Amino acid sequence: MLQTALREDALTATPEGFELRLGLSWIRSMPLSTVAELAVEVDGIPVAPGELTVVLGARRVRADALQAESGWWFVQDRVVLAGRRELSRGVHAIAVDFQLLVPYLQARPGSPLVLPFHLEARLELDREPVPSVSRDVA
């Protein structure tokens, strides 16, 4: 699961900065509202919370506002994270941290299990897309 969360074609340039496509690191599809504490670093420099959004179809949602969303993150699909930072061509060190609140598993009575995830990869900007059945979460 973790090996495919950041595929080699996950990092692309946009006119506003960059997009990073993140696969779900869990065995089941999950509501977007279960994603918390989303953070991204590029080349060791954190993307400021105000500069990180999640692209949901035609909408952009602040990363810290996902818990108010009603959509789903399906196992085969990618959440698109957008940053307002221009990246140079070449390879970049990417790190993504987030928590997944698993509502059907309890850590203790009345409290969902919270799984922390840390993903790292060296990704080339605008690498040729890998054939896939994955879609962007909308």
pLDDT at 128 over 50: yes
On whether residue 133 sits in a domain, the answer given is no
On whether residue 18 sits in a domain, the answer given is yes
Higher pLDDT, 30 or 130: 30
On whether residue 135 sits in a domain, the answer given is no
pLDDT tens digits along 113-123: 899 999 999 99
pLDDT for the residue numbered 1: 45
On whether residue 134 sits in a domain, the answer given is no
Number of neighbours of residue 34 by Cβ within 10 angstroms: 21
Q: What is the pTM of this model?
A: 0.90
Mean predicted confidence (pLDDT) in 59-78 = 93
Tokens linked to 98: 């987030």
Q: Are 30 and 85 in contact (CB under 8 A)?
A: no
CA distance 89 to 14: 12
Q: Which domain holds residue 106?
A: 2-124
CATH number of the structural domain spanning residue 103: 2.60.40
